[in-house]
Amino acid sequence: MLPDDLTQKSSLAVCPVPAEQLPLNEYEELRQSWYFCWAMLDLASYIQKMVWLWAWSLLVTAPVAAASFAPHKFPAQFLFASAGGSIGVVVLALLRLYLGWAYVSSRLVDTAVVYEESGWYDGQIWEKPAEVLTRDRLVVAYQIQPLLKRMQATFGVLLGSWLLGAIAWTILL
């Protein structure tokens, strides 16, 4: 007979999922990614990144807006069009950020892990043991959900800004 410490193997020791496809490892990859880590920054740095992205996207949207509204003839329309276009760029970047975190969140919350052993044609499913599922759900509850809520709030602010710009466009112009 084997000693108790050898018979009580960790659930991860017999896990057939390749390391790069484990949801917790996917979470760690996002945390270390230069782009996806933006969501994990403190609030001031996060806002700074969003404003920085908005300002740099003006380099693209301002010439497009200038083609439609000459800045010297229609300065208000030019400003609203270029600022609104820049908000659109930020929304797209934020959407990519949100979808990446939401995907990993769903992989962590699921009771089973769908994985591929060597290619797309041989998909397998591994049922998570209770302790792995609990750990993964705790990561979601305490690490990922706050990020998703922050990004949802950012979407709300951007949508509100866009709507205020649209209202100002119709009232002032």
At residue 34, what is the residue type? W
Q: What is the pTM of this model?
A: 0.86
Q: Which two tokens stand for residue 144?
A: 């990922």
pLDDT digits (tens, 9 = 90+) for 133-170: 999 999 999 999 999 999 999 999 999 999 999 999 99
Contact (Cβ atoms closer than 8 angstroms) between residue 115 and residue 23: no
Q: Which two tokens stand for residue 40?
A: 């994990």
Hey, where are the domains in the chain?
32-172
Instruction: Name the more confident of 31 and 4.
Output: 31
On the question of pLDDT at 9 being above 70, the answer is no
The whole-angstrom separation of Cα 36 and Cα 33 is: 5
Cα 94-98-100 angle, rounded to 5 deg: 120
On the question of pLDDT at 118 being above 80, the answer is no
